[in-house]
């Protein structure tokens, strides 16, 4: 490996000298020479017709079997693609007893029928599905980068990975030559920013060909934790390096390494305009141009996504008291300006087009160039970091009391290259720090790590420990749920307090929004299929600020519509951001403006124009409802998915501690008077906390009742026979799962 080698003088942009970036290419020929071919299978490359290839690829690393499987009409009608295909394949691969590290567990990657169109922004997503090491139920994680579309344009609607290899292997799919190979790879570097750089060069046939290669990998963190994630690359021609996008949630990277997969590499054809062979290209082009113009004209006055990406909301969340601070205790902090979007504007190189798939004019991905690392195995290296996105700034930053942008970027970098989910790391580190501050942990228990609020060096060292497989890092890498159980078992603190402040539900860590003052968002997190991720429903403004959904029935309607609507993106290969982070100029004049109705119609038109199947907005929701309810039943099949699994840690519902209550005493006292009907005068803080707790917990339980009813579920959270039949998912094996609960 070389450090500081000249790359290409023409790649000097703005104020960052790209020529100084550390490169990792020296010696890759020797690494390749050590590969041993395990199996090679030819196939006939194809391009989709009307969005589908009508076949998926199955690879078993235990037996080295590689085969094609047909995509049936039923699969397309019921499961559409993406997450739907992943869940359907996974259902048939596992049993109720399967756990994440059993060989039959699978990782399924599927982009969806509309994925890969280059005319409409945000159309290059893939969905990754597996049984999660954190939750023991199916996890789904969406990701950009080129791998999914290149897989599809090589000839497969999904990639199904099962079994375990004996040695570390690389799966190579050459969609140009029609070759699939499993190769033992004994000398490959482990961490993603190095490995993906090496493999891109190794498998591209020329410098120009690098853009047609995408690598899926993880890092050393996934080897020693349950929170591993997958990095999907695309080749950044302007910078001359790989870029990384993450399938972060739920530990899929851990499953990947447990199967001894070092990397997946897909080399696809050169991307052209209509590789999906859609039915109505004119409609797709017209719809795309309309949104491109809208982004061009409106984004500079709206969310400024092209310049700031999702980090534009850091200071906004702070202003609304929603930015998680010190483990979700508070919603704002005086130092937030140090990690606000203006800071990232200065750190991220502008004037380059940053899209994780062709044709995305929203281009929210941002590269922070020129970061010189201060710690760890790459200390002194100059790297490009993707991000930070909002979740990273809030999770790795404010939630742990870290407001130093250099350290925040370094945390972001190491999470990525070690293959660990930034959201998960942010929430688990915040939990650890609060435990440390409250004496549940101490120097002896952390092995000498002084994990006080804001200690970024200790945070980084804990992360390096995970990657090295040693010390307290090994405990941290188990995630919040297992840490809670361990701390309680060891008698390290008040069990109730530990349960209340450990922000996980179903075993997955919360993403980075404060939900205490929005009952609808409490449900939006806890009633999710996979665990508390905001990609089902983000309702805080509607509920807390707008007061648009005051009744339980209003909230339930929102918790019916939005999870279904947003599920649909993951069936088809879409990114959510172009739906609601820019809006048409006349949106405010439209009925139900909060749904961005013109954009919803765009999606209806895109699906119909791609597949030739004419759908409506109602059918769009039904497509999602089939998959959403199937996933709920899949959870039940795995021993979860019931009411008891939808309950939330109290920190997400209301104030746990005196400090929390007293920091917002005026607000909470007013609520006690106006909403609960009790005069707070003369009551101690502990008494007031208890009154709030009973009131808020009762409301949460009532919301669950009303939401379940609206979704067509029993009071235990089981889809009813009538709902299952209405959706057309009344397969015998599905009915068998719900029968013990429905009679």
Partner 1 sequence: MINVNGESMDWQDGMSVRDILKARKFLFPLLIIAINGSIVDAKAYDITIVPDEAEVKIIHLLSGG
Best CA proximity match to 230, nearest among 154, 159, 302: 159
- Quote the tokens at residue 467: 């990657």
Best CA proximity match to 648, nearest among 502, 489, 486, 479: 502
Stretch that binds partner 1, among 38-46, 127-135, 542-550, 702-710 (CB under 8 A): 542-550
- Quote the tokens at residue 64: 């080295």
Q: How far is Cα 598 from Cα 584, in angstroms, rounded to an integer?
A: 8
Report, in Å, the least distance between residue 440 CB and partner 1: 30
Residue 697 binds partner 1, judged by CB under 8 A: no
Report, in Å, the least distance between residue 356 CB and partner 1: 14
Is the four-CA dihedral 452, 453, 459, 461 of positive or negative sign? negative
Residue 224 binds partner 1, judged by CB under 8 A: no
Q: How far is Cα 473 from Cα 338, in angstroms, rounded to an integer?
A: 28
Residue 296 binds partner 1, judged by CB under 8 A: no
Q: How far is Cα 34 from Cα 170, in angstroms, rounded to an integer?
A: 12
Q: How far is Cα 200 from Cα 153, in angstroms, rounded to an integer?
A: 18
For partner 1, the closer CB: 249 or 723: 249
Stretch that binds partner 1, among 12-20, 540-548, 679-687, 735-743 (CB under 8 A): 540-548
Residue 652 binds partner 1, judged by CB under 8 A: no
Residue 511 binds partner 1, judged by CB under 8 A: yes
Could you tell me how far CA 153 lies from the centroid of its own chain?
Answer: 24
Stated as kind and residue range, the H or E segment containing 572 is helix 552-572
Q: How far is Cα 379 from Cα 200, in angstroms, rounded to an integer?
A: 24
Q: What is the DSSP letter of 36?
A: E
Stretch that binds partner 1, among 110-118, 229-237, 547-555, 719-727 (CB under 8 A): 547-555
Residue 9 binds partner 1, judged by CB under 8 A: no
| Chosen residue from 513, 552, 607, 700 binding partner 1 by CB under 8 A | 513
| Chosen residue from 580, 663, 697, 714 binding partner 1 by CB under 8 A | 580
| Chosen residue from 13, 50, 499, 594 binding partner 1 by CB under 8 A | 594
Cis before 95 (ω within 30): no
Residue 542 binds partner 1, judged by CB under 8 A: yes
| Chosen residue from 9, 44, 301, 491 binding partner 1 by CB under 8 A | 301
Residue 603 binds partner 1, judged by CB under 8 A: no
Could you tell me how far CA 662 lies from the centroid of its own chain?
Answer: 34
Residue 342 binds partner 1, judged by CB under 8 A: no
**Using an 8 Å Cβ cutoff, are 519 and 543 in contact?**
yes
Report, in Å, the least distance between residue 317 CB and partner 1: 8
**Using an 8 Å Cβ cutoff, are 266 and 210 in contact?**
no
For partner 1, the closer CB: 280 or 554: 554
Residue 354 binds partner 1, judged by CB under 8 A: no
**Using an 8 Å Cβ cutoff, are 32 and 202 in contact?**
yes
Could you tell me how far CA 50 lies from the centroid of its own chain?
Answer: 28
Cβ atoms within 10 Å, residue 607: 25
Stretch that binds partner 1, among 312-320, 412-420, 601-609, 623-631 (CB under 8 A): 312-320
Residue 666 binds partner 1, judged by CB under 8 A: no
Residue 438 binds partner 1, judged by CB under 8 A: no
φ, ψ dihedrals at 704, nearest 5°: -60, -45
Stretch that binds partner 1, among 151-159, 162-170, 258-266, 580-588 (CB under 8 A): 580-588
Ramachandran bin of 301, using left for φ above 0, alpha for ψ from -120 to 50, beta for the remaining angles: alpha
| Chosen residue from 278, 596, 606, 727 binding partner 1 by CB under 8 A | 596
For partner 1, the closer CB: 332 or 608: 332
For partner 1, the closer CB: 541 or 721: 541
Footprint of partner 1 on 19-48 (CB under 8 A): none
Report, in Å, the least distance between residue 439 CB and partner 1: 34
Residue 541 binds partner 1, judged by CB under 8 A: yes
Report, in Å, the least distance between residue 185 CB and partner 1: 34
Cβ atoms within 10 Å, residue 720: 17
Q: What is the DSSP letter of 675?
A: I
Q: How far is Cα 54 from Cα 59, in angstroms, rounded to an integer?
A: 17
Q: Please work out the total of residues on this chain that contact partner 1, with binding judged by CB under 8 A.
A: 37
Residue 453 binds partner 1, judged by CB under 8 A: no
Identify the residue whose tokens are 């690393």: 61
Residue 97 binds partner 1, judged by CB under 8 A: no
| Chosen residue from 283, 437, 548, 714 binding partner 1 by CB under 8 A | 548
Stated as kind and residue range, the H or E segment containing 234 is strand 230-236
For partner 1, the closer CB: 48 or 395: 395
Which residues 6+ apart lie within 8 Å of 338 measured at CB? 403, 404, 405
Report, in Å, the least distance between residue 579 CB and partner 1: 9
| Chosen residue from 303, 408, 488, 519 binding partner 1 by CB under 8 A | 303
Q: How far is Cα 441 from Cα 451, in angstroms, rounded to an integer?
A: 9
| Chosen residue from 162, 192, 465, 587 binding partner 1 by CB under 8 A | 587
Best CA proximity match to 364, nearest among 378, 380, 353: 353
Q: How far is Cα 308 from Cα 113, in angstroms, rounded to an integer?
A: 30
| Chosen residue from 38, 47, 176, 316 binding partner 1 by CB under 8 A | 316
| Chosen residue from 222, 540, 571, 724 binding partner 1 by CB under 8 A | 540
Residue 362 binds partner 1, judged by CB under 8 A: no
Report, in Å, the least distance between residue 666 CB and partner 1: 14
- Quote the tokens at residue 628: 């959403």
Give the residue ranges of DSSP H helices in 390-534: 390-392, 405-418, 422-437, 456-468, 471-476, 480-489, 495-501, 519-526
Residue 184 binds partner 1, judged by CB under 8 A: no
Residue 669 binds partner 1, judged by CB under 8 A: no
Best CA proximity match to 141, nearest among 607, 675, 537, 530: 530
Q: How far is Cα 615 from Cα 406, in angstroms, rounded to an integer?
A: 48
Could you tell me how far CA 156 lies from the centroid of its own chain?
Answer: 23
Q: What is the DSSP letter of 266?
A: E
Residue 572 binds partner 1, judged by CB under 8 A: no
| Chosen residue from 140, 157, 188, 391 binding partner 1 by CB under 8 A | 391
Stretch that binds partner 1, among 105-113, 406-414, 509-517, 649-657 (CB under 8 A): 509-517
For partner 1, the closer CB: 80 or 339: 339
Stretch that binds partner 1, among 76-84, 207-215, 466-474, 505-513 (CB under 8 A): 505-513
Best CA proximity match to 234, nearest among 295, 147, 162, 313: 147
Residue 724 binds partner 1, judged by CB under 8 A: no
For partner 1, the closer CB: 497 or 575: 575
Residue 545 binds partner 1, judged by CB under 8 A: yes
| Chosen residue from 538, 560, 603, 713 binding partner 1 by CB under 8 A | 538
267, 270, 272, 277 alpha-carbon torsion, rounded to 10°? -50
Residue 297 binds partner 1, judged by CB under 8 A: no
For partner 1, the closer CB: 224 or 566: 566
For partner 1, the closer CB: 552 or 708: 552
Q: How far is Cα 157 from Cα 161, in angstroms, rounded to an integer?
A: 14
Q: How far is Cα 536 from Cα 138, in angstroms, rounded to an integer?
A: 15
For partner 1, the closer CB: 189 or 395: 395
Residue 667 binds partner 1, judged by CB under 8 A: no
Cβ atoms within 10 Å, residue 300: 12
For partner 1, the closer CB: 381 or 599: 599
Contacts with partner 1 by CB under 8 A lie at 301-304, 310, 313, 315-316, 319-320, 389-391, 511-513, 534, 538-542, 545-548, 550, 562, 580-581, 583, 587-589, 593-594, 596
């Amino acid at each position: 490996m070389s450090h500081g080698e000249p790359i290409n003088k023409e790649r000097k942009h703005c104020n960052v000298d790209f020529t100084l970036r550390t490169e990792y290419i020296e010696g890759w020929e020797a690494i390749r020479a050590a590969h041993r071919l395990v199996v090679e299978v030819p196939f006939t490359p194809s391009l989709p017709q009307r969005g589908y290839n009508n076949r998926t690829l199955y690879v078993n690393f235990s037996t080295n079997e590689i085969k094609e499987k047909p995509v049936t009409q039923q699969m397309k009608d019921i499961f559409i693609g993406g997450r739907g295909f992943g869940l359907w394949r996974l259902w048939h691969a596992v049993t109720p007893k399967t756990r994440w590290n059993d060989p039959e567990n699978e990782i399924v990657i599927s982009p969806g029928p509309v994925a890969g169109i280059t005319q409409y922004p945000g159309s290059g997503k893939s969905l990754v599905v597996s049984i999660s090491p954190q939750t023991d139920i199916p996890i789904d994680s969406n990701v950009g980068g080129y791998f999914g579309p290149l897989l599809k344009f090589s000839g497969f609607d999904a990639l199904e990975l099962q079994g375990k290899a004996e040695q570390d292997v690389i799966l190579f799919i050459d969609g140009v030559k029609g070759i699939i190979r499993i190769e033992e790879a004994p000398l490959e570097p482990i961490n993603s920013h190095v490995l993906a750089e090496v493999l891109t060069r190794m498998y591209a046939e020329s410098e120009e060909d690098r853009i047609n290669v995408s690598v899926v990998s993880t890092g050393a963190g996934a080897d020693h934790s349950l929170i591993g994630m997958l990095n999907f690359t695309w080749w950044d021609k302007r910078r001359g390096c790989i870029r990384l996008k993450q399938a972060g949630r739920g530990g899929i990277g851990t499953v990947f390494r447990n199967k001894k997969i070092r990397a997946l590499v897909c080399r696809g054809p050169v991307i052209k305009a209509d590789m999906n062979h859609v039915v109505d290209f004119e409609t797709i082009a017209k719809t795309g141009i309309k949104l491109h113009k809208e982004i061009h004209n409106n984004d500079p006055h709206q969310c400024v996504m092209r310049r700031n990406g999702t980090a534009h909301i850091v200071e906004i969340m702070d202003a609304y008291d929603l930015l998680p601070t010190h483990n979700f205790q508070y919603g704002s902090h005086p130092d937030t300006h140090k990690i606000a979007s203006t800071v990232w504007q200065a750190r991220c190189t502008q004037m380059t087009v940053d899209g994780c798939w062709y044709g995305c004019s929203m281009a929210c991905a941002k590269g922070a160039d020129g970061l010189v690392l201060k710690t760890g195995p790459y200390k002194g290296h100059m790297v490009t970091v993707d991000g930070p996105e909002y979740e990273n700034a809030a999770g790795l930053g404010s939630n742990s009391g870290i407001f130093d942008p250099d350290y925040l970027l370094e945390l972001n970098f190491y999470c990525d290259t070690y293959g660990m989910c930034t959201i998960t790391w942010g929430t688990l580190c915040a939990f650890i720090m609060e435990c440390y501050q409250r004496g549940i942990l101490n120097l002896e228990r952390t092995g000498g790590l002084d994990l006080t609020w804001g200690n970024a060096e200790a945070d980084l060292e804990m992360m390096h420990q995970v990657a090295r497989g040693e010390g307290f890092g090994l405990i941290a890498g188990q995630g919040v749920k297992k840490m809670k159980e361990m701390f309680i078992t060891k008698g390290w603190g008040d069990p109730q307090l530990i349960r209340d402040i450990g922000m996980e539900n179903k075993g997955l860590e919360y993403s980075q929004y404060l939900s205490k003052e929005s009952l609808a968002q409490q449900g939006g997190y806890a009633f999710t299929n996979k665990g508390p991720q905001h990609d089902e429903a983000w309702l805080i403004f509607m509920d807390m600020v707008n007061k648009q959904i005051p009744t339980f029935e209003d909230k339930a309607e929102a918790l019916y519509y939005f999870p279904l609507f947003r599920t649909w993106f993951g069936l088809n290969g879409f990114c959510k951001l172009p739906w609601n982070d820019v809006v048409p100029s006349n949106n405010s004049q439209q009925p139900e403006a909060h749904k961005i109705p013109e954009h919803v119609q765009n999606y209806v038109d895109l699906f119909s124009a791609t597949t030739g199947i004419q759908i409506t907005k109602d059918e769009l929701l039904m497509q999602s409802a089939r998959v959403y309810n199937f996933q709920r039943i899949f959870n039940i099949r795995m021993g979860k998915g019931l009411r008891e699994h939808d309950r939330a840690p109290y920190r997400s519902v209301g104030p746990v501690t005196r400090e929390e209550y007293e920091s917002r005493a005026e607000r909470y006292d007013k609520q006690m008077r106006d909403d609960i009907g009790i005069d707070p005068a003369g009551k101690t803080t502990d008494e007031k906390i208890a009154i709030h707790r009973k009131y808020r917990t009762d409301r949460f339980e009532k919301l669950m009742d009303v939401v379940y009813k609206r979704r067509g579920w029993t009071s235990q959270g089981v889809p009813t026979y009538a709902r299952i039949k209405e959706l057309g998912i009344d397969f015998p094996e599905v009915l068998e799962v719900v029968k013990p609960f429905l009679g």
